[in-house]
Amino acid sequence: MKILISDKLANEGIDILKAVKEFKVDCKYDLSAEELKTSIKKYDALIVRSATKVSADVINAADNLKFIGRAGVGLDNVDLKAATQKGIVVMNTPAGNTTSTAEHTFSMILALARNVPQAYASMRAGKWDRNKFSGVELYGKTLGIVGFGRIGSTVAKFAKSFGMNVVVFDPYLSLEVTQQRGVDMIPLEDVLKKADFITFHIPKTDETSNLISEKEFGLMKKSVRLINCARGGIIDENALATALEKGQIGGCALDVFEKEPLPKDSPLLKFDNCVMTPHLGASTSEAQINVAIEIAETMRDALLGRGIINAANFPSVDAEAYQALEPYINLALRLGKFAGQLIGERRMNEVKITYSGVINNYKVAPVTLSLVNGLLKPILGESVNYINALDLAKERAINIQEVKSNKEEEFVNCINVEIKTDKEPFRIWGTLSSNKKPRVVKINNVYVEAVPEGNILFINNSDKPGLVGAIGTILAKDNINIAAISLGREAQDGVAISVVNVDNEVPSATLEKLRKTKDILYIKLLKV
């Protein structure tokens, strides 16, 4: 079996692969896109870091490729959809740079608190301005952590050793877990109001893009200091520049940016209290070795048939069973995404998945993985996949129950999902149409016939005449075409559900018009 490594990888990882007699390992760095397309044809596996762009063109040119391994967390440089369509498993290394990124985060906290970069620059200029660079202590201060996965929880340990108070916002983490780890779980708004330092450890998704903008800066202390070593685009950089200009916040430390490299005309460059580094979170020799070893061992085991871990697009299942389960895996993923976006900030405690019909003739574990993957993806983004979804749910003390029912149910060949939260529960039913396409057939107590695909407007509305016409008129005026619409109600003149599939994204201005429409009680744009 032939393996191509197209980005520089630590020797410790290369040696693991070369030690396997069945493997032929080639290291070819700095290949152009055309050179990679030509070279990839003969390889069974490809290992990259961030430099190589594994585009759809490259994937489609691969005749034998079975696995793509990314030595790192992000998969921005791999066309996941193209790989999935061609049956290529894409794997990454979610754990290898945890310590490195957590340490860099805390380095940024310390540098920001004590004005280290500014003082250094002043001394290099021949000055001795002791009073100008007076800082603040960390002891007794409150650190707010947004996202409490591996990196966030490691940062919390560091902070507690400095005598800091730690508050956490993570809607997918249970109160039980945070209590065990000695931190307080509070709403995001309270984190923004109470914290002296706020650090972000979440992926960039539709839900988290520009999570912190003008409104959020208005809630913060004027002395607050923000740290982002996660992903660019979580903090609205224009709003951040305005907040710094107006003195709304005490400062910020950024390792990641919406555009990288950071444009030379970025307004952030003019502020002394904006500490910046060029995406160095994982740039330690130890982290490079860790991710190299992790991806090498993962690739070795996958190629030798010992199992697949950290796969972003494929559950572990044999080919024959997968052919039968594939429509249900797709259905489960879409049900999960649908439900995950509607749950919002409700904290999940338990997810009970009941299977009925012919699906019970197979091991349903891959379907469960797919559903949990979809359920967590709106908030965790690319860090959750088919393989690690259950582990991430377990870390957050979300109990996943898998039930096979032999009872005669309302729907044949059905997946029924019951989600218990810290507020009201949520329930959704899904099945397959005659052509094996996914359908949502019931939401809580309301029957619908909805297609969980693409851009969807989910609406709770009063059951009054004329609403469908009002929705259609607003969308038509903004040149948004309705692809399908499903209506359902629990009782006449009560609260109803409208599920509207549209052909393109709905701008926020259009959503606001709909939100203000008479008899619309709630509206959310879903992307499934």
Residues labelled catalytic? 231, 260, 279
Nearest to 525 by CA among 453, 475, 457: 457
Q: Which two tokens stand for residue 418?
A: 């019951």
Encoded tokens for 100: 């490195």
Q: Answer yes or no: are the C-beta atoms of 160 and 184 closer than 8 Å.
A: no
Nearest to 440 by CA among 432, 450, 454: 450
Beta-bridged to residue 67, according to DSSP, are: 45, 89
457 within 8 A of 469, measured Cβ to Cβ: no
Distance set, CA 486 to CA 426, 482, 483, 496, 502 (Å): 19, 11, 11, 11, 12
Instruction: Give the pair of three-digit tokens for residue 360.
Output: 């019970």
Other Cβ atoms within 10 Å of 176 Cβ, number: 12
Q: Residue 227 corresponds to which amino acid?
A: I
Q: Which structure tokens are listed for 302? A: 């996958």
- H or E segment to which residue 495 belongs: strand 495-502
Listed in sequence order, the residues at least 6 apart from 481 whose beta carbon sits closer than 8 Å to its beta carbon are: 475, 502, 503, 504
Question: Phi and psi (nearest 5°) for 438?
Answer: -70, 145
Grouping H, G, I as helix, E, B as strand and the rest as coil, residue 433 is coil
Q: Are 47 and 279 in contact (CB under 8 A)?
A: no
| Helix, strand or coil, per DSSP, at residue 201 | coil
Three-state SS annotation for 330-365: HHHHHHHHHHHHHHCCCCEEEEEEEEECHHHHCCCH
Element holding 18 (H helix, E strand) = helix 11-18
- CA-to-CA separations, 406 to 53, 354, 356, 358, 366, in angstroms, rounded: 48, 10, 7, 10, 20
Classify the C-alpha dihedral 278-284-290-295 as positive or negative. Answer: positive
CA distance 20 to 24: 9
Parallel/antiparallel/unpaired status of strands 24-27 and 2-5: parallel
Strand ordering across the sheet containing 89-91: 24-27, 2-5, 45-48, 67-70, 89-91
Determine the Cα–Cα distance for residues 3 and 429; give it in Å rounded to an integer. 43
Nearest residue to 257 via CA among 268, 272, 249: 268
